[in-house]
C-alpha cells in the first residue's frame, strides 16, 4: 500500500507530512503493526478511488494514502489529477472491532453523524467539513462503511497549544467559546441523536467517548431528564438481572479500575440500582427543571479543533457520537481548559473565566450547566455501566456525597425517597459479610 511521502505532503500542507510520518511509525510499531496492516489490507482501495473519482467528477484518482487510524476509523487522503484532494474515512480500526454493536446500530450512528454535520453547517457558523458522499452499508465494494468529505487545511490545536503565547491562546479560546455558545443555544424537544439536517431526533446512537451505550429499547428519544436517567438505571438492572455473567465478565475486563470482580457483588449492585430507581421514580417532574436540551459535540477537544498558522479556528471535526443532551450534563462540555494541558494555573483560571464569561454572555445560561438536584452527579453514577467500571467505595461515595450536599442546601424533603438506598449502603458497611461474591455467579451460570 502506498504511503504518502513526507516531501510530497509537505508541498501542499506541512501537517500532512507529520501525519504521514506518524503513520509510518505506526506501521513499524512492534505491538500494532500487524493488526494495522491487516485492517489496511481489508479495504479495496481501488474501489474507493473509483467511487471518489465518480463522486467528485474527476478524471482519475492519483492515490489513496492512509494518514491516521483512531479508535473507530482509518483515514485516507485521496488525491486527483488536478492537484485537489479529499478525505476518505473508513469505519474500521485496529483499535476497536465494534463487535458489541449491531450492524444496524453502526449504520444508524454513521448517518446520525452526517445529519449532525448538515445541521451544524445550516444552523451555526461553526466551520465543519462538507460531506460529499456517505456509504452506510458495510457490504459494498470498498469493504467498509465510509464517508468522503472535504479536507480542511489546518492543524489540530493540540499540536501547538503548549507553544502558543498567552495572547494566542486567549484568541483561540475566544473563538471556541463563541462556537460552544452556538451549540448550547440550540434547543430541541428531547434528548437523542439527529437523523436529518432539519433537527429531527431519533434514538441515541453510539458514543465516541464512552465505552458503553444505552441498549434497545432504552435509547430514547427522551422528552424529560427523568426519563433519561431512568433509562440508564434500567439498562444497569437489565444487565445485572438478565445476563449477570456478562456483568461479571465486564467487571473482570475493568478490574484495574474497579477493585476486582468481587468488590461489588452482583446482588449488591442489583439492590443498589433498584433502590436508586425507586428514588428517582418518586421525584416530581418539577424537580428536574430546567428541561433545556442542546446539541453537544461528543469529543470537543484539542485533537478535533483545526486552526490555521495565524491562530484562526478553521474547522471542528469528528462529530461522531454527538448528541442532544440536557444543559446540566456537564460531562459533555469541553475539557481542554484543564490544568493538565497547561502548567500555569493562573493562565488556566483566566482562560476558563474568559470561556465562562463569553458563553454565559451569549446564551444567558450558567456555564457549565447545572440543576438544583445536581443531576450531573446522578448521571455520572449511572452513565454507561458505571457499576462495571467503579469500585464499591467510589459508587457508594458518589451517592452519599450527592445526598449530603443536597441535604446541606435544603433538599431534605426531596431526598426522602432516597433514604432506603442510604440506609442500605450504611447497613452493608456494618455487615459486609452477608453479601455473596460475584464470582459465584460464574459457577451458577454454568449449572
DSSP string of 197-249, one letter each residue: TT--EES----SSSS----TT----BSSHHHHHHHHHHHHHHHHHH-HHHHHH
Residue 384 has phi, psi (to 5 degrees) of 55, 60
Residue 306, domain member (yes or no): no
| CB distance 256 to 416 below 8 Å | no
Closest CA to 92 of 43, 165, 127: 43
Distance, CA of 151 to CA of 9 (rounded, Å): 13
Residue 85, domain member (yes or no): yes
Report the run of H or E that residue 89 belongs to, with start and end. Answer: strand 85-90
- The domain total for the chain is 2
Same domain, 122 and 268: no
Q: 116, 134, 149 — which closes off a domain?
A: 149
> Domain of 81?
6-149
In the 8-state DSSP scheme, what is residue 436? P
Distance, CA of 154 to CA of 311 (rounded, Å): 10
217 preceded by cis ω (within 30°)? yes
Residues 6+ apart with CB under 8 A from 49: 61, 63, 64, 78
Q: 89, 117, 149 — which closes off a domain?
A: 149
Residue 208, domain member (yes or no): no
Contacts 24+ apart (CB under 8 A), 260-263: 261/437, 261/438, 261/439, 262/437, 262/438, 262/439, 263/391, 263/392
Same domain, 34 and 134: yes
Strand-by-strand arrangement of the 131-135 sheet: 61-69, 74-80, 85-90, 146-149, 131-135
Same domain, 144 and 231: no
Same domain, 248 and 130: no
Rg of the Cα atoms in the chain: 24
Residue 250, domain member (yes or no): yes
pLDDT in tens, the chain (447 residues): 555 544 344 346 777 777 878 888 777 777 778 888 888 899 999 999 999 999 999 999 999 999 988 778 999 999 999 999 999 999 988 777 777 788 899 999 999 999 999 999 999 999 999 999 999 999 999 999 999 999 999 999 988 998 999 999 999 999 999 999 999 999 999 999 999 999 999 999 988 877 556 888 889 999 999 999 999 999 889 989 998 888 888 889 888 888 888 888 889 999 999 999 999 999 988 888 778 999 999 988 888 999 999 999 999 999 999 999 999 887 777 777 776 677 788 999 999 999 999 999 999 988 888 888 888 888 888 875 677 888 999 999 999 999 999 999 999 999 999 999 999 999 988 775 545 455 444 432 332
Q: What is the CATH number of the domain that holds 32?
A: 3.30.200.20
Same domain, 142 and 257: no
| The three cell numbers locating residue 200 | 429531527
Residue 239, domain member (yes or no): yes
| CB distance 195 to 202 below 8 Å | yes
| The three cell numbers locating residue 244 | 449477570
Same domain, 251 and 142: no
Same domain, 266 and 119: no
Residue 262, domain member (yes or no): yes
Q: 99, 128, 149 — which closes off a domain?
A: 149
Same domain, 283 and 387: yes
| The three cell numbers locating residue 262 | 468481587
Residue 348, domain member (yes or no): no
Closest CA to 181 of 360, 369, 366, 368: 360
Amino acid at each position: 500500500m502506498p504511503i504518502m511521502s513526507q516531501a510530497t505532503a509537505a508541498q501542499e500542507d506541512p501537517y500532512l507530512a507529520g501525519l504521514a510520518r506518524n503513520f509510518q511509525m505506526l506501521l513499524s510499531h512492534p505491538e500494532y503493526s500487524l493488526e494495522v496492516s491487516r485492517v489496511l489490507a481489508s479495504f479495496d482501495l481501488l474501489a474507493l478511488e473509483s467511487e471518489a473519482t465518480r463522486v467528485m467528477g474527476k478524471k482519475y484518482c492519483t492515490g489513496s494514502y492512509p494518514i491516521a487510524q483512531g479508535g473507530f476509523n482509518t483515514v485516507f487522503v485521496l488525491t486527483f489529477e488536478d492537484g485537489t484532494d479529499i478525505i476518505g474515512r473508513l469505519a474500521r480500526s485496529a483499535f476497536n472491532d465494534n463487535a458489541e454493536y449491531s450492524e444496524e446500530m453502526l449504520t444508524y450512528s454513521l448517518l446520525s453523524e452526517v445529519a449532525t454535520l448538515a445541521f451544524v453547517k445550516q444552523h451555526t457558523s461553526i466551520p465543519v467539513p462538507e460531506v460529499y458522499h456517505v456509504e452506510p452499508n458495510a457490504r459494498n465494494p470498498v469493504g467498509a462503511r465510509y464517508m468522503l468529505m472535504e479536507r480542511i487545511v489546518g492543524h489540530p490545536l493540540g499540536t501547538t497549544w503548549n507553544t502558543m503565547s498567552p495572547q494566542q491562546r486567549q484568541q483561540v479560546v475566544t473563538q471556541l467559546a463563541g462556537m460552544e455558545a452556538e451549540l448550547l443555544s440550540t434547543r430541541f424537544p428531547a434528548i437523542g441523536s439527529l437523523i436529518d439536517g432539519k433537527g429531527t431526533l431519533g434514538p441515541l446512537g453510539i458514543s465516541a467517548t464512552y465505552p458503553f451505550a444505552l441498549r434497545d429499547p432504552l435509547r430514547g428519544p427522551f422528552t424529560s431528564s427523568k426519563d433519561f436517567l431512568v433509562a440508564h438505571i434500567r439498562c444497569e438492572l437489565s444487565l445485572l438481572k438478565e445476563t449477570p455473567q456478562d456483568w461479571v465478565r465486564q467487571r473482570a475486563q475493568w478490574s484495574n479500575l474497579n477493585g476486582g470482580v468481587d468488590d461489588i457483588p452482583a446482588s449488591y449492585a442489583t439492590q443498589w440500582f433498584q433502590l436508586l430507581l425507586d428514588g428517582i421514580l418518586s421525584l416530581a417532574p418539577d424537580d428536574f427543571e430546567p428541561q433545556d436540551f442542546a446539541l453537544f459535540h461528543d469529543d470537543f477537544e484539542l485533537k478535533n479543533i483545526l486552526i490555521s498558522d495565524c491562530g484562526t479556528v478553521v474547522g471542528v471535526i469528528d462529530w461522531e457520537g454527538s448528541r442532544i443532551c440536557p444543559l446540566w450534563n456537564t460531562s459533555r462540555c469541553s475539557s481542554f481548559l484543564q490544568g493538565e494541558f497547561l502548567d500555569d494555573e493562573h493562565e488556566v483560571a483566566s482562560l476558563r473565566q474568559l470561556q465562562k464569561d463569553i458563553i454565559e454572555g451569549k446564551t444567558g445560561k450558567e456555564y457549565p450547566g447545572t440543576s438544583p438536584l445536581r443531576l450531573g452527579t446522578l448521571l455520572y453514577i449511572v452513565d454507561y455501566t458505571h457499576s462495571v467500571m467503579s469500585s464499591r467505595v467510589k459508587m457508594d461515595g458518589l451517592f452519599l456525597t450527592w445526598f449530603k450536599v443536597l441535604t446541606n442546601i435544603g433538599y431534605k424533603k426531596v431526598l426522602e425517597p432516597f433514604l432506603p438506598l442510604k440506609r442500605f449502603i450504611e447497613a452493608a458497611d456494618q455487615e459486609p459479610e452477608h453479601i455473596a461474591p460475584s464470582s459465584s455467579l460464574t459457577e451458577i451460570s454454568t449449572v
